[in-house]
């Protein structure tokens, strides 16, 4: 058996183009199908006008496994599929809501947004208060209540990323910053002075936001600081600091909205994706716990208008063009040889 260098180069080029265009699985299948249609795949290895036999196919497959195995780490399709950032953010918010409910079951109320041992003492965030309910008891024990959250001892803990406090879609925030915030205000479920209970929400737990999502706010997860109701309304009506942007993926194009949105978990534990609203009154109605507002039935009509931008995936265009060119190359070569 003899291998021609040009044949080996052609096979690897066709295989690379097919995998780049269709992914690893479909790419290998289509490359093998293309080779078998041309009755190659190894030029003089097979008899003229003969199809590969079982032994030849086994040799080819074995060679592919041996040669492509080391490349599998660099090919995304062969890695384990990971959940989308938005779904992970949904899970994080649900987990935080469950933790707050567990805290509520023990104490009969929510934690205060910021708690201090006494007048003039350093304040601690509600995120610290719920640590024992979310497998963070070690961090809670190591926290020094006599110093600020960013003090000499606590600063080291603040730089540790606690699971569930950062959204993977928030790629602009430095390490240790949180993506989830309580909305502070006497009108909301998070009062600065009086801790509220889930049972005392006149507007209904399913209609009142518990935590809201925002990116790159510059707030560490240990820091006793969140956002005010006015800041939250601005976020919910402008799309600022929105971690998510709706994207529609096609083979040749990617369509995405110019205005992004954010997730929010409600007091009953369910999570919703919320695009920006045209009317601040609707945002306020979702944030207040006892405002008595009535939301419109067709709330989608009140979303902020968003344009759709289309991007061409030139990589897919080029890779498909190369694959098609390589696929017909042997046929063109044979026609030229016959003509000569």
b/e map 157-174, b = 16+ CB within 10 Å: bbeeebebbbbbbbeebe
Q: What angle do CA 60, 65, 66 make, to 5 degrees?
A: 100
What pLDDT sits at residue 24? 79
Domain ranges of the chain: 5-80+327-339, 85-306
What pLDDT sits at residue 60? 52
Strands (E), the chain: 114-116, 123-125, 180-181, 183-184, 209-213, 227-228, 247-249, 253-257, 262-266, 271-274, 308-312
What pLDDT sits at residue 3? 54
Alpha-carbon 326 to chain mean position: 36
Q: What is the pLDDT along the chain (340 residues), one digit of tens a residue?
A: 445 777 778 888 888 888 887 777 778 877 887 777 665 444 444 444 444 444 554 555 455 544 444 444 444 433 344 457 778 888 999 999 999 999 999 999 999 999 887 777 888 999 989 988 877 567 778 888 888 888 888 888 777 766 678 888 777 777 788 999 999 999 999 998 888 999 889 989 999 999 999 988 889 988 999 999 999 999 999 877 777 776 666 777 777 777 778 999 999 999 998 889 999 999 999 999 988 888 888 888 888 777 777 888 888 788 878 877 887 777 777 667 766 5
What pLDDT sits at residue 39? 57
What pLDDT sits at residue 41? 44
Calpha distance 115→333 (Å, rounded):
79
């Amino acid at each position: 058996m003899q291998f021609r260098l040009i044949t080996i180069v052609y096979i690897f080029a066709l295989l690379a183009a097919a995998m780049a265009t269709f992914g690893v699985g479909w790419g290998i299948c289509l490359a093998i199908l293309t080779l078998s249609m041309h009755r190659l795949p190894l030029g003089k290895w097979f008899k003229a006008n003969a199809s590969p036999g079982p032994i030849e196919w086994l040799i080819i497959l074995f060679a592919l496994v041996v040669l492509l195995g080391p490349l599998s780490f660099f090919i995304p399709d062969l890695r384990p599929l990971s959940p989308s950032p938005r779904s992970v953010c949904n899970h994080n918010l649900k987990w935080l809501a469950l933790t707050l409910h567990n805290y509520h079951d023990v104490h009969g109320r929510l934690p205060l947004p910021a708690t201090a041992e006494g007048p003039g003492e350093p304040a601690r965030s509600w995120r610290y208060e719920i640590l024992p309910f979310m497998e963070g008891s070690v961090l809670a024990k190591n926290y020094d209540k006599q110093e600020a959250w960013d003090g000499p001892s606590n600063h080291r803990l603040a730089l540790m990323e606690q699971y569930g406090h950062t959204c993977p879609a928030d790629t602009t925030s430095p390490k240790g910053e949180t993506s989830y915030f309580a909305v502070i205000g006497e009108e909301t479920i998070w009062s600065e002075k009086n801790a509220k209970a889930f049972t005392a929400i006149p507007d209904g737990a399913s209609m009142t936001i518990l935590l809201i999502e925002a990116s790159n706010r510059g707030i560490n997860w240990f820091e006793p600081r969140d956002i005010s109701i006015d800041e939250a309304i601005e976020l919910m009506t402008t799309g600022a600091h929105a971690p998510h942007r709706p994207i529609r993926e096609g083979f040749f194009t990617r369509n995405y909205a110019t205005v992004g949105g954010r997730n929010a978990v409600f007091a009953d534990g369910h999570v919703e994706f919320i695009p920006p609203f045209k009317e601040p009154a609707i945002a306020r109605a979702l944030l207040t716990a006892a405002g008595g507002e009535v939301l419109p039935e067709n709330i989608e009509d009140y979303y902020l208008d968003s344009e759709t931008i289309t991007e061409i995936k030139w990589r897919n265009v080029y890779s498909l063009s190369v694959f098609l060119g390589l696929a017909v190359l042997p046929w063109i070569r044979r026609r030229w040889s016959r003509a000569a």
